[in-house]
Amino acid sequence: MAHPNLFTPYERGALKTGHRVAMAPLTRNRAVGTVPGPLNAEYYAQRAEAAILVSEGTHPAAIGQGYLDTAGLHNDEQQAGWTLVADAVHAAGDAKLFVQLMHCGRVAHPYYTGETPVAPSAIKADGGTFTPDGQAEFVLPRELATEELPALVEDYVQAARRAVAAGCDGVELHAANGYLLHQFVASGTNHRTDGYGTDVAGRIRFPVEVATAVAAAIGPEKVGIRISPGHPFNDIEEEQVHETYDALIRALAPLDLAYLHVLDSSGYAGYPVLEQARELWPGTLMGNEGFSEEFTVEEADQMIADGKLDLVAYGRRFIANPDLPTRLRTGAELNEPDSDTFYAGGPKGYTDYPTLEQAA
C-alpha cells in the first residue's frame, strides 16, 4: 500500500476522517458576553472541511475566564450557543467539532470574573491580559484547597456533558500553554505538598484525574488532550520536562482517548515531544508544529508517511483560509492572515476571508 499522506482518509477506533488536516484551537474573542452566537456559528461552519475542528479555548467555569468575549460552557445560554455552532458545522461539512476546555487558572482575570483566580499555588504570572480599559496585570492567585479539587474536576465533567448535549463531537482538554492543567504539571507553578505536587507523580495527578473523569462521563472517544511540554507561554517554568511528560503521556495512554494533540515545543526544553508521544502514546496523534512559516504540504505528507503523526493541526492558516484542506490539496495560493484582527471583535478578519470559489 502506498504511504498515507495529508489527504488519505484516517480511521482509528471511533474516529474516522476523510483527510488529515485539522484546525487548531484559536481564541478569537467574538463570543459576545461568553455566549457563541450566529457570527461564531458562521465562522465555524465556514471551516467545516476540517477533519477535526478544535474550537476556541472555552472556560468550563466562570472563574476560568481570562479574556474578553471568550466562550464559556457552564450555563444553559452558553450551551444553546454551542448547539447553534454544532448544528451549523454539521450541516456544512464532515468536521468533528471538539470544544477546547480552557480553564485559565492563575491567568484568569478578576476584570472578567470578579473573583481572585485559583491556581495550584499562590504564584503570580508575569504579564497581563488585554481589557477594553487597557492592559491589566495578572494578579496573585489563591491556592486551591485539596477539598476544592473534586468540584473543579466536576466543572470539567459538566462542561463536557454540556458539549455533548449541544451536539458537539467531543472536548479537548487544554493542558498546554500555561493554563490551569499545565500549571499543575509545571514545577514552577506547582509548589503543592498535598499529593498534587512535590514530584512528577504528584504534578501530573490532577490533569490525569480530570481526563479520567471526563472520559468516564462522556466516553473516551469524545475526549482529546493538548500538551506543550516546556513551552514558556504564560510565564511557565518547567524542570524535569523529560520525566514529567513521559509520565504524563504514560498515565494518559490507558484511557484510550480520541487523540493526543501535541504542540511541538521541543525547541524550548529540548524534549522531543513528537517522538516521545509516538513511542508512548498508542492512539491517534495530532501535531501542531509550532510553526515554521515554510512548513509545506510536502513536509506534512512526509511526517504522516513516516508515521510521525496522524493528523496535522493548522492555526493561523485556518484563520485566513476557511477552505484550507481544499487549498492544500490543490496547491492553491493561501490568503495571508491579518494578525491585527486576530483578537478584534466583529466579522472583519473573522468571517470575511474568501474561499477559492468566492475569490474566483
Ligand X SMILES: Cc1cc2nc3c(=O)[nH]c(=O)nc-3n(C[C@H](O)[C@H](O)[C@H](O)COP(=O)(O)O)c2cc1C
Interface residue list for ligand X (CB under 6 A):
24-27, 56-57, 100, 102, 174, 176-177, 226, 263, 288, 290-291, 314-317, 342
End-to-end alpha carbon distance in the chain: 37
Residue 67: Cβ-neighbour burial (10 angstroms; 0-12, 13-18, 19+) = buried
Catalytic residue of the set 43, 44, 156, 179 = 179
Grid coordinates representing 195 are: 499529593
Which spans in 253-352 are helix H?
Answer: 266-269, 273-280, 297-305, 316-320, 324-330
Least distance (Å) from ligand X to the CB of residue 283?
19
Q: Please list, residue by residue across 279-311, b when 16 or more beta carbons sit within 10 angstroms of its beta carbon and e when fewer do.
A: ebbebbbbbbbbbeeeeebeebbebbeeeebbb
Cell of 144: 486551591
3-class DSSP state for residue 240? coil
Amino acid (one-letter) located at 233: F
Instruction: Identify the H or E element spanning 312.
Output: strand 311-314
Judge whether 46 and 53 are in contact, CB under 8 Å: no
User: Is the separation of the CB atoms in 21 and 325 below 8 Å?
Assistant: yes
* Least separation in angstroms between CB 198 and ligand X: 27
In whole angstroms, the minimum distance from the beta carbon of 241 to ligand X comes to 18
**DSSP assignments along 26-82, one per residue:** ---S-SGGG---HHHHHHHHHTTTSSEEEEEEEBSSGGG--STT--B-SSHHHHHHH
Tell me which amino acid residue 197 is. G
Count the alpha carbons within 13 Å of 88 in the hemisphere toward its beta carbon.
19
Q: Is 353 known to be catalytic? A: no
The minimum distance between CB 90 and ligand X, in angstroms, equals 22
Q: Which is nearer to ligand X, 31 or 215 (CB)?
A: 31
Grid coordinates representing 42? Answer: 458562521
- Between 26 and 153, name the residue whose CB sits nearer to ligand X: 26
Q: Which is nearer to ligand X, 203 or 261 (CB)?
A: 261
What is the smallest separation between the CB atom of 299 and ligand X, expressed in angstroms? 13
Residue located via cell numbers 494578525:
339
How far is CA 102 from each of CA 61, 142, 172, 179, 357, rounded to the nearest angstrom? 9, 18, 9, 7, 34
- Minimal distance, residue 290 CB to ligand X, in Å: 6
Residue 293 CB, shortest distance to ligand X, in Å, is 8
Q: Which is nearer to ligand X, 182 or 192 (CB)?
A: 182
Q: Catalytic positions, please?
A: 179
